[in-house]
Each structure stands twice: as structure tokens, then as C-alpha cells.
């Protein structure tokens, strides 16, 4: 209903539906008035087979006809009570969205206390609780498996959650933040800035950083041109979790390590989006989901707490 951009479509659907139902009723009534008088045989339709097998224009049986009338009455009552006539919501005002919200509200009332209990437990501890992990796994399969795989192993363009390589960081707080707020990673296209030859040279240099086979001459030329990449990936190519820039010196590749794939990434760039789940799932479910992700084996220790600021040094002076 919300897709209607003009009042025309409301009337188009409503009038078309009502006219169709009335038309069915009129058609049935016309079949009724054409019934032959009692005791009189129906007229021959004009087709005869095997000399004595004739087709007559007999009307529908009454029980069948009245069954159709009942369905017409039922459809009119249904359209009065429930949505079906354009934007008219029906007497009950039912909608799929409303029913979903009621079911979510009922589920939250039933399971909210359980989720709230787990929400107070830190992630490393929660990641060892079998009951909590069972809930977290169910959430993961429903919300995350389509991209990261049912085992969290990832796929091309979707990072594995089981290794120690993290684009944005793998400590408990960062994992939870990634799920709650989502992430948007952008690798800008560098093809125009580097040119075709420069892209090929930087691609070989990037392969050399992780010990992959490469053309040494091209890699040497690409090292100087890598300066345009160092702002995000670092001068040593080890990445920057604050920017979501991946480490280029290990054997883990999000899209692949072939010369063609790396060249394509440099030339055309990449755009990755991890959708935010916080508003839809709520803090308690995000916490359980983060605990399950942490338990997959790639979670890092909690980040050290920041040291409290030291008191200002005493100074001598005049009052």
C-alpha cells in the first residue's frame, strides 16, 4: 500500500476488484435464468458423437452454483474486514507489519528477562556459556549466515570471523560495535591516478608484501607509487583498523590474491557495507550475537583500559 504514489491506484484496484466480484455474481445469475422449464429438455449444443452421444446446454447444478455464491459473499465480507481494496485498511485495520510488531512485542516480553540477564555478562565469559552460545548461534544463522556463511568462515567479499585478521578490530567492544552500528568500508578507485602501467606495478608490489610470486622490476617501480595507498594501509602495508584498511602483508585476502583481482581492486576500488543491526535487534541480542562471534576463534583480548590522567604537577607561585 505504501508504494502507491497516486490516489489513482487506490481507486483502480478497489473498483476493479468490486466490479470483478459483481461480474461473477451476474454471470451466475444469468446461468440461473437460462434454466429450461421443468420437464423440458435443455437445448442441444450442436455436438453429437457416435450417433447418440449428444452435448446439451445444461446449467450448473444448484449445489455448485450456490457454492460460488457463498464464495462471493465471503469475499465481500473479507474485503470489508481486512485490507484488499487499495489503501482501505479494513474494519480491523490488520496489516502484516502490525502483526509482526505484535509478535515481536510478545517475544520480547517472554524472552526479555533472559536476554537482560546475559546482557550484564562480559563477552569473554559469555562466549563460554553453552546456553548463551546456543541463542547466539540461532541469531547468527538468521541474521549473519547469508553473508559470512553458516560457520562464520566468510566468502569472497565477506570476511571470515574465525581468524585473527580483523578489518576494524576483534576485541569484544569493537565486535559488538560493528554489529550494533554496522561498518562502511571504501577503497577508492586509483586507476585514473596511477594509469594502467601504474596499477600493474602497484599490484605486483602488493603481492610482494605477502611473499606471493611477483615481477621484481614491476614491484620495485610500484613501491614508490604505493605512497598513494600508504595513507590508509600504512607505509609498511600492515593496514589500519581505525579506517578498516586491511593488512596487505599476510595471506588473508577478502577478494582474492591473483594479479587480476588485486589489479581490479586498485583500478576500480571496492565498496563494502556491514548493515547496522542495533536498532532492529536491540542491545541484548547484539550482545549475545557478539559473544557467539567472539567464540568462533578469532576474537582478540579486550583492549587495555585507558590509564587515568595523572594529577597536575604542583607549581610554586605568589598568591
d(CA 152, CA 140): 9
The pLDDT of residue 39: 62
103-182+275-295 belongs to which homologous superfamily?
Cytochrome c-like domain (1.10.760.10)
Q: How far is CA 244 from CA 152, 241, 289, in A?
A: 19, 5, 21
pLDDT band at 97 (very low <50, low <70, confident <90, very high): confident
pLDDT band at 48 (very low <50, low <70, confident <90, very high): confident
Q: What rounded mean pLDDT belongs to the chain?
A: 88
In this predicted structure, the answer to whether residue 41 has a pLDDT above a threshold of 70 is no
Across 149-188, b (16+ Cβ under 10 Å) vs e yields eeebebeeebbbbbbebbbbbbbbebbbbbbbeeeebebe
Highest mean pLDDT among 91-100, 110-119, 126-135: 126-135
pLDDT band at 29 (very low <50, low <70, confident <90, very high): confident
In this predicted structure, the answer to whether residue 273 has a pLDDT above a threshold of 80 is yes
The pLDDT of residue 37: 63
Residue 221 neighbours by CB distance under 10 Å: 17
Highest mean pLDDT among 3-7, 32-36, 263-267: 263-267
Q: Are 293 and 179 in contact (CB under 8 A)?
A: yes
The radius of gyration of the chain's CA atoms, rounded to the nearest angstrom, is 34
Highest mean pLDDT among 33-47, 106-120, 201-215, 293-307: 201-215
Span of 55-59, 120-124, 296-300 with lowest mean pLDDT: 55-59
The pLDDT of residue 33: 65
Q: Which grid coordinates belong to 186?
A: 571504501
Percent of the chain with pLDDT strictly greater than 90: 64
Q: Are 239 and 201 in contact (CB under 8 A)?
A: no
Q: Which of 273, 283, 212 is nearest to 244 (CA)?
A: 273
d(CA 222, CA 200): 8
In this predicted structure, the answer to whether residue 1 has a pLDDT above a threshold of 60 is no
The pLDDT of residue 121: 93
Q: What is the DSSP string of the chain?
A: -TT--SHHHHHHHHHHHHHHHHHHHHHHHHHHHTPPPTTPPPPEEEEEETTTEEEE-PPPPHHHHHHHHHHHHHHHHHHHHSS-BTTB--TT---HHHHHHHHHHHHHHHHHHHHHHHHTS-HHHHTT-HHHHHHHHHHHHHHTHHHH-TTS--BTTB--SSSS--SS--SHHHHHHHHHH-EEEEE---HHHHHHHHHHHHHHHHHHHTT----HHHHHHHHHHTHHHHHHH-TTS--BTTTTBPPSSSS--SS--SHHHHHHHHHH-EEEEE---HHHH-HHHHHHHHHHHHHTTTPPPPPPPPPPPPPPPP-----
Q: Are 55 and 48 in contact (CB under 8 A)?
A: yes
Single pTM value for the model: 0.69
Q: Are 167 and 185 in contact (CB under 8 A)?
A: yes
185-274 belongs to which homologous superfamily?
Cytochrome c-like domain (1.10.760.10)
Q: Are 270 and 206 in contact (CB under 8 A)?
A: no
pLDDT band at 318 (very low <50, low <70, confident <90, very high): very low
Taking only the tens place, the pLDDT of each residue in 288-311 is 999 999 999 988 888 776 556 666
Amino acid at each position: 500500500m505504501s508504494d502507491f504514489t497516486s490516489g489513482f491506484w487506490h481507486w483502480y484496484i478497489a473498483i476493479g476488484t468490486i466490479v470483478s466480484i459483481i461480474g461473477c455474481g451476474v454471470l451466475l445469475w444469468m446461468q440461473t435464468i437460462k434454466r429450461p422449464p421443468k420437464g423440458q429438455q435443455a437445448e442441444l449444443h450442436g455436438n453429437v458423437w457416435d450417433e447418440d452421444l449428444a452435448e446439451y446446454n445444461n446449467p450448473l447444478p444448484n449445489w455448485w452454483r450456490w457454492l460460488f455464491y457463498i464464495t462471493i459473499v465471503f469475499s465481500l465480507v473479507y474485503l470489508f474486514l481486512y485490507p484488499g481494496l487499495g489503501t482501505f485498511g479494513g474494519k480491523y485495520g490488520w496489516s502484516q507489519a502490525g502483526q509482526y510488531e505484535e509478535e515481536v512485542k510478545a517475544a520480547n516480553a517472554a524472552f526479555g528477562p533472559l536476554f537482560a540477564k546475559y546482557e550484564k555478562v562480559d563477552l569473554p565469559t559469555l562466549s563460554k556459556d553453552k546456553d548463551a552460545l546456543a541463542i547466539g548461534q540461532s541469531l547468527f544463522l538468521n541474521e549473519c549466515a547469508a553473508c559470512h556463511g553458516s560457520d562464520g568462515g566468510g566468502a569472497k567479499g565477506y570476511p571470515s570471523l574465525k581468524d585473527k585478521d580483523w578489518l576494524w578490530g576483534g576485541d569484544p567492544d569493537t565486535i559488538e560495535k560493528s554489529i550494533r552500528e554496522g561498518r562502511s568500508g571504501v577503497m577508492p578507485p586509483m586507476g585514473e591516478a596511477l594509469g594502467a602501467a601504474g596499477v600493474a606495478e602497484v599490484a605486483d608490489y602488493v603481492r610482494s608484501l605477502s611473499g606471493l610470486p611477483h615481477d621484481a622490476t614491476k614491484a620495485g617501480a610500484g613501491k614508490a607509487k604505493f605512497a598513494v595507498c600508504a595513507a590508509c594501509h600504512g607505509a609498511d602495508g600492515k593496514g589500519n583498523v581505525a579506517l578498516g584498511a586491511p593488512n596487505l602483508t599476510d595471506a588473508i585476502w577478502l577478494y582474492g590474491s591473483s594479479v587480476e583481482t588485486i589489479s581490479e581492486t586498485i583500478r576500480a576500488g571496492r565498496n563494502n557495507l556491514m548493515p547496522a543491526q542495533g536498532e532492529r535487534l536491540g542491545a541484548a541480542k547484539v550482545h549475545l550475537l557478539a559473544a557467539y562471534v567472539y567464540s568462533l576463534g578469532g576474537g582478540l583480548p579486550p583492549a587495555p583500559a585507558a590509564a587515568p590522567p595523572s594529577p597536575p604537577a604542583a607549581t610554586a607561585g605568589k598568591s
